[in-house]
Structure 1
Amino acid sequence: MSVSWTPDRRPSLPGRLARLGFNEAGRAERLLKEAEDAGVPLDDDLLDGLGATADPDLALDGLLRLLTAASGEQPAARELRKALAHEPTVRDRLLAVLGVSAAFADHLARHPEQWRALRDGDGSVQADPRAVLLDAVGADPDAAEPVARDASPETLVALRVAYRRRLLGLAGRDLTGAADVAEVAAELADLAAAALQAGLAVARAEVPEHTACRLAVIGMGKCGGRELNYVSDVDVIFVAEPRDGHPEDAALRAATRLASAMMRACSAHTTEGALWEVDAALRPEGKAGPLVRSLASHRAYYERWAKTWEFQALLKARPVAGDPDLGARYLDMITPLVWQAAAGEGFVDEVQSMRRRVEAHLNRRDPAAERELKLGPGGLRDVEFAVQLLQLVHGRADETLRGRGTLEALAALSEGGYVGRDDAAALAAAYRFLRRVEHLVQLHRLRRTHVVPEDPADLRRLGRALGLRTDPVGEFTAQWRRHARQVRRLHEKLFYRPLLRAVARLPGPEARLTHAAARTRLEALGYADPAGALRHIEALTAGVSRRAAIQRTLLPVMLGWFADAPDPDAGLLGFRQVSDALGTTPWYLRLLRDEVTVAERMAWVLGSSRYATDLLLRAPEAVTMLVGDAELAPRPYQALRTEALADVRRLALPEPAAAAEDGAVLAAEEAVAVVRGLRRRELFRVAVADLLDLADVRTVGEALSDIAAVTVEAALQAAIDKIEMERRGPLPTRIAVVAMGRFGGHELGYGSDADVMFVHDPLPGADERDAHAAAHAVAEEMRRLLALPAPDPPLEIDPNLRPEGRQGPLVRTLASYAAYYARWSEPWESQALLRAHATIGDRELCERFHAVVDPVRWPEGGIDDDAVRQIRRLKARMESERLPRGVDRRLHIKLGPGGLSDVEWVAQLLQLRHAHDVPALRTTRTLATLEAAAAENLLAPADAEVLADAWQLATRLRNAMMLVRGRASDVLPTDHHRERSSVSRMLGYPGTGDLLEDYRRHARRARAVVERVFYGEE
């Protein structure tokens, strides 16, 4: 349907253009009128096509320039207008290219006839690129050694024009989804190879003595691997041999001239620019070595002098131009050398060290390294290096891993069990995404770049080109960062995999475990990496020692128990690591052999939880806790406190006057290190009880809060001792730490921070400034001690709930708190105080602090309607502003509808309104508040049950994700199958869908109660 340009319709067009994505709707309307005047039918299809592009304004500008350029030849112009009206494929491809690439708009303005390359039936696009480009330089494609008509500038221009025509056709298919990223990269590599062949034909026309030699061009890097970018240096190596009895010296001189001329033919600047740089720096000795070598010279170098990275580079070597037989001989020569390289002494360490040096150099050199798609953290090179190292290590024995392309090799590694299926899928998805972004960035100006732009307009174009429409910039940035984080995590996991060194040290293919029946059995049990599992088994059972004999008895049974866990491979790896740490200890294997429960529980824990496994690896003797249920019961708070404070006292220096400052520092740090060891042990106890369903949500929260409180109190005492040593006398003030938030509510999770406030009270007669300085020094020292690097999960101390937040003083006197809350406090601060629980430090001061804040948090008569409205507005604003961008709010278990925050705000509003009159509501615990409110008829019992059930499920999910992943998250896992499966199985759901459905049901019901009770009039 045509769009009418009559006056009564004109006002509606700018609005439609704005909705389609035009930034300047008025200007676009004027330009569209110009296009219509030029004979282009202005219909809905054209408008929708422009609106579907990455940058409609850019596409419209480019289209008008093309129409203007084509207008000089009326038949051609008519053909173009007809194609825009009646050939949807051509129109979509043309607009897609123009909406991304200003460079192709320039090219089409110079060569308007080349729009035909966007037709599927275009002969130049369907033909072999080698034949097309050789024909462009006047060479016979069928000749054994094609020679161009000449090496003139006109010939070089013709080569570039033909090359870009082919590139245009490929870009059109790429940007409309007719070719995926792997196909595009492969075609770009083949096109580059064809251009090298055409460049060699031009070189032959320039170098008459070329007949004295045979020259083969070996593609390296992305060209060799058939995964090239739109604009990239093309890496090559040259190998030559004399022909027909010519002396080798003369042949190599001729070959060097020929290679140099070929490189110039491709990289020389003309009126049509250059193709790309031809880079021969990967040759033996790099730029310091001869450009061309004979086959024998190459062999001698690689056998005697080559470095590790050179063999890694040769993984992708592929003959791409010149003499095919010589190229094949070169490949046959280097292939065995490449696959023997990993057996070299320290090969894996050297590759890993080189990678670290490259990263360190990049980070020092480039402040924008994090925006690097190729070299930055989580970039393409991370994927490529991890895949290549795994290829080199395992490919010696498994020839299926010897593919050149990254995606091809990654698929083979996954198929062979060397990389888990989920990991391989995540890496492949990230690699494809990053390559697409890299292509889009380069297409804009046809320039070699790998940096994500910062300009919002450029980011918008990238996002829209990827199909993102709601919030192109935000959605693109979130996807990019997510993929980068995933790549970096998996790079660290795979590239620095501890078993690689052991595998690399194996003598050769004949030593590889090839027990087909065992491998089949492991696959049937659910091991994602059966080959890796076999290697673990062999390492654990090899030899004639008693240790090996017990392992041979244990493992057949334990393999089945590992298979019953969510991640059998992680379980077996963790078992090997713990066994390596404790295997020589007499009691360890005897315990596993004689106490079946211990081995079974160990298999489940190691195969279920990265968090518990990490704790066990740092304190492997904790395996003794698995003996019985009693050992896994959380220890009472008072027992933990007594042990922790005893450790601090034991390590304290005896006399302040005799203690040097360095000694005080060391004593404090040593004391806290011992206490953190206690914390590590107790965290493992609670985690295992949780994993084995021996502790419910309340028990876990209370236990984790007790462990944190003991750790904080011990660190406080160590800090006080240290400051008193430095001051040569006792503190002039008393100090206490107030637990806030989940810490004060006895509801900590495994990944929770410890929210606190610091309060002090100067002793009678003490100087207030001196007292404040001493208290501040203690607080800072306590935070420093707990932040020291240590082999345990960190306990972050967060003091930002204090009055005035980060802008306020870290430590206040009790009188200062009283004055502040009397004069300045806001309703949200009263709400925050509902969870304030002061038990750490000076006990009398803790009681006095409660006396100050109790009237604030439990006000007489409750809070007024204005305060209620403020709290509701704050909650509503939190719901709209605090959720991370790009996250499905329904899956956010803290801030999403029906999540933790919803339930807690209902409980806290009831406390603010009624706690003064209802003593049972004067608690810092959420579930206790709901129960008290129901008992006092302030909340319907059914509503209280709905809220409590939702809160407990969300808390269990939060804890389960931390246990499974080893890192905190508030978002239900949806894009990682193994994590989803592990969390579901840990919580007893038959499938991941059941978990998601159950959570959504609880959340919906809870949100309905929140709408009525919190936002309603009840």
Structure 2
Amino acid sequence: MIKHPALPESLKGTVEQSWNAILDAAGSAQQAALESLLAQPGLSRQLAVVLAGSRYAAETLRRRPWLLLQLCSAGELETPLREGALEFELGELLAGSDDEATVVLRRFRQRQMLRIIWRDLNRLAPTLETTRDVSWLADACITHGLKHCTAELEAKYGQPLGSDSGEHQELVVLAMGKLGAHELNLSSDIDLIFTYPERGNTKGAARSISNEEFFTRVGRALIALLDPVTAEGFVFRVDMRLRPYGESGSLVQSFAGLEAYYQEQGRDWERYALIKARPVTGKLQYRQALMACLHPFVYRRYVDYSAIESLRSMKQLIVAEVRRRGLQRNVKLGSGGIREIEFIAQCFQLIRGGRDSTLQRRELFAVLTQCADLGCLPQDVVQELQAAYLFLRDVEHVIQAWEDRQTQELPDQELACAALAFCMGFADFPAFMAGLDAYRDSVTKHFAALIAEAEDSTPAPQSAGLWGADCNPEQLADLGFTNADGLAERLRTLFESRRVQRLQAEGRERLDRFMPLLLEACAESEHPDLALERALPLVSAVARRSAYLLLLIENPPALADLAALCGASPWIAEQLSTRPALLDELLDRASLYTAPEKETLQSELRQQLARLTVDDLEGHMDALRYFKASQVLRVAASEISGRLPLMKVSDKLSFIAEVCLEQVLALAWAQLSLRYGEPSREGTGRGFVVLAYGKLGGIELSYASDLDLVFIYDATAGGYTDGERPIDNATFYMRLGQKMIHILETRMGLGQLYEVDMRLRPSGASGMLVSTLGAFEQYQRNDAWTWEHQALVRARPVAGDEMLAEKVEHLRRSILCESRDTTALAREVVSMREKMRSHAKVTVDDTELDLKQGFGGIVDIEFMVQYAVLAWASQDPSLADWSDNVRILETLAHSGYLQKEQCQSLVQAYLELRSATHQLALQQQSRNLPATQFAAERSSVQLAWESLFAKVQGDENSTDDS
């Protein structure tokens, strides 16, 4: 007798009746074997669950009782599937059976579905394993079914060949929906699209037909093989309604026809559907080509705010359908059901997936995880949605296991309700419903919070009349604007401009909704007039790309941040006006005002570039420019808001440049290696280093700094690359440097990545672009000028081969620690400083202070630090440890070469002056200030200069007097 300690009384009779029917249908030998299974307590309990929860399984075993014996003896009920196992097994069955393919396929499905249901109802398989196994079953049936149909039709019409390539063509079956994501339920339809690579004709048979006709016949044959219900049941119900033009469209399309349709007529719901699309059949090259042509339609290049309105419409349709059809008992389509969780995840995929490539996933569970990682949804919300998803999918499976029907409706019959509650682990049906409602309420709450209704963004009445040809200055004044007349005139000018007047209806409507909201946001900011004045160029820039306006309409906090940042900095306002894609950064306040550490920057850039192929140079260059611009915006916003001190600002800007250089080097190397192979060299690594000088070398980068770089390599002399088109090592590294500069400096839609200055390389502009380590050492030891050794103080490797970087750093320290005549050194340093002042036309009695070149300015401090390192590092090598001025000054104070108080005053002056240059850069103002400013700081710098160089300057003054 079958036993299960938790089996309700109402189900015991059903289980016993089903078991007796199975025994009656079996032969005497099989009866004994089946009854012996009950001696295994674990198996007996599992059997009770399956017979209680699935009439389909009970009927399958009644008709084919030996299946249970086969599954038990093979250990398949306890063992998860390996990928490819089903496809292999089905192939063997079809090859070795005398039965027709239609019979083999249906019997194969029965056996596998029995195994899957058994493992699912007994919780031997997690939810996502069940959905994966059903999907693998569908893949195997489609693959072998297609082979069978294709072979039959090729025998009749010949092989289909491409008209251009002449290659053999294949039908590529594109799995949509849950099959595409390996998320099929126990009794699911399969949504398919049929496509093929190239137009052409068949060849090799008496009758030739076009590829389109051939694959149409193949497609029809495949549907006829899988879909009909026969005495053996069915394989999978096939739904072709997602193809272009739906049921009225052609059954098959070529790749070109498919691409043209989506480009010209594709609708947002089709983008939504294609998120999960996956080619099931066809050569790898065909699958990749198909996905490459669909990708631009599904995922826009940057964040796609234009999808918001269509997604809002879809959401409204979902809500209306639930209401109209009374779907509350439907765990998929009802309120709080599976569809709403899918919608939440896919909204973020459509809107953000173009830029955040980690969202370009088919599996819903993984997409939700990425939503948490990217900050699209809070972690706790994602955990609630994932828990609800797994519960609802389990419920769906139990409902469908009952009779192998494609339904998500909760049952009405008392026996089915009892079976559902039991299989879900509840004492009774009311307890189950309480648990189900708790999950659905959670989903409903999060679904309702996604994408606010349009009326939520209605502009406030007091600002609604300010946008138009009759803009009233008095109303602007009432809102708090000081220069009301001037701003009213600017608003009227913008309103009457050709750019605005020629907008299409949708763009005009969005602009009319946006402007009153912008006025109010600016009025509530700290600097209303500046905020509005600086925001108007942005409005003009994006008027024809009104999706950006929609972003700000939909996100009032982002609009408030826009007004605040524009009011605080014209530099930020200009960045946003020239690079509107950066508006996306305003959506996440936490990240906007948090500049990441270097490791986080590296991870973020890797994720953004992961979707690009090595040969997509333009794509990489675009992504790098967006990455740099967005990260620099974060730093600026953090500094403006007072969340980052000066030293941290420079650190962050330097980190951004380093991460970009690392990636530029990797990209340039990959592209050249594909073409020429890799250069011959000893050991591992690339044998190439980027040595940064100046502000980047000193970890003191500012917002508009260029990069002073030197490229050094170390590889086998006279060696060649190992590719099919070998070139000598020197040429390879020279081209590597050229490629890096091209990637860094080329102007694109988002501007340059960085401007590069290579004049500090050996022999300057006349020298080789890339130096060997030996040549660099020889030049530094024998030919370099003192000012070049000064520059070496602020040099450090920032990208490239770690072993070579250590050699370069060792050489730098060795050069800096050489013993020098301090008097001669001081004379050369002072002479170079005076030449720089003369070139900059700076005099001691200037009424304006040049923060950088003026007396007591930044360069004076830098020159003193450089002199100190060159003069005394031979006695105290720790002076060569650092490349930044502040830490060198701290080392000087500790070593005693300069007085501690003097070093402290120089550090304070340096930080104050540099902070001022940063602030002036953000305000787009000249670094020249009234000479009275920073008097105390400049005085301390000049006193230090006098004490350090008094003897040299005294000698020069006496020489001048004579």
Q: TM-score range, shorter-chain basis?
A: 0.3 to 0.5
Question: TM-score, normalized by length of structure 1?
Answer: 0.42
Question: TM-score, normalized by length of structure 2?
Answer: 0.44
